[in-house]
Amino acid sequence: MNPLLANAVSAIQAGVEDYEASDPNRGLSAVRNITAGVLLLFKEKLRRLSPPDSDEVLLKERLRPSLRPDGSITFVGAGRKTVDVQHIKDRFESLHVSVEWDRFDALVRLRNDLEHYYTTASAATVQSVLADALVVLQAFIATALGHEPLDLLGEKTWQTLLNVASVYEKQLQDCRAELSRIDWPHPIYDAVVAEVCCIHCRSPLVKPTNPETSDLTTLEFLCTSCGKTSNFEDTIGDAIAEAFAADAYIAMTDGGDPPLDYCHECGEESFHVESGFCLLCQASLSYEKCGVCGAALGPEDQHGGGLCGYHKWQADRDD
């Protein structure tokens, strides 16, 4: 077995052993090992895809053109830096290697959150990582690497992953079913609900304790992993930021309108521009167009009495 592949397998096996030790102090190690193992498997694929005389070019961050003895041009790896997650995504995309990126992104996000804000990881958090990893691994090992997951990872590791994932997925389904009992006022909340997780431990196993309430702001959420509760504003506020983070990032880097704006009523960055209302306090626009020039008005113009910034300024000056 190639060392890269062997390292990937032992990282995943070590992560599953960390989980099985049921020691909260090894939870973080479990998450780190599993994430590292998945990334190493991705790198193994890039290694296999690299042309034979290229010094494993696809694993290197930088590429350098080089002349073959026959005068033709090839690319070889330059420097010591290897690919990061974004490079792997870009290369897989151009080489048509498919990955369950949603699950993988959830895995990496949780790993990063844990590294930055927590010193231990609860069993439930590790279970969610194993469940996400299973979905990614199942498809990737079989399709991209051409191995049987059970043969590659060993029966013990694979069985544990399967068992943990099926229990976890069942719990997640139950929580999501409870969340869908809430009378959400607009379809845009589908995207938000998909990102709901516990503000205390980041577990997605969160359900409402009062889903039949008619006033969204009185919703209370219970985390079935850590047992703590959280209110509507904190839980949905976090989920809103998460749900539109990718769009906000694209708007920031490639230009275009950001999906969210600061709400003129509650002041939070939760006004969904396209839907025309605030996802937290439900405030909508009293004035949509300037009464003089017809320019579109946003939340920040609502205190201008139906005038755009310029015409409000002009009206104030003429007074």
Among 108, 193, 241, 266, binds Zn ion (CB under 5 A): 266
Contact call for residues 57 and 50 (beta carbons, < 8 A) = yes
Q: Which is nearer to Zn ion, 41 or 198 (CB)?
A: 198
Q: Which is nearer to Zn ion, 75 or 262 (CB)?
A: 262
Among 32, 43, 103, 311, binds Zn ion (CB under 5 A): 311
Residues 15, 270: Cα–Cα separation, whole Å: 38
Among 200, 211, 232, 269, binds Zn ion (CB under 5 A): 200
Among 105, 178, 265, 269, binds Zn ion (CB under 5 A): 265
Stretch that binds Zn ion, among 46-54, 125-133, 236-244, 282-290 (CB under 5 A): 282-290
Which residues in the 207-246 window bind Zn ion by CB under 5 A?
A: 223, 225-226
The residue type of 266 is C
Chain centroid to CA 242: 7
Q: How many residues does the chain have?
A: 319
- Compute the 3-state secondary structure of the chain and give helix, strand, coil in percent, each to the nearest 5: 55, 10, 35
Contact call for residues 251 and 268 (beta carbons, < 8 A) = no
Residues 66, 100: Cα–Cα separation, whole Å: 35
**281 part of the interface to Zn ion, by CB under 5 A:** yes
Q: 60 in helix, strand or coil?
A: strand
B/e letters for 65-91, b = 16+ CB within 10 Å, e = fewer, are: eeeeeeeeeebbbeeeeebeeebbbeb
**292 part of the interface to Zn ion, by CB under 5 A:** yes
# of chain residues touching Zn ion (CB under 5 A): 20
The residue type of 123 is A
For the bound state, the minimum distance from the C-beta of residue 310 to Zn ion, rounded and expressed in Å, comes to 6
For the bound state, the minimum distance from the C-beta of residue 254 to Zn ion, rounded and expressed in Å, comes to 27
Residues in contact with Zn ion by CB under 5 A are 198, 200-201, 203, 223, 225-226, 263, 265-266, 278, 280-281, 283, 290, 292-293, 295, 308, 311
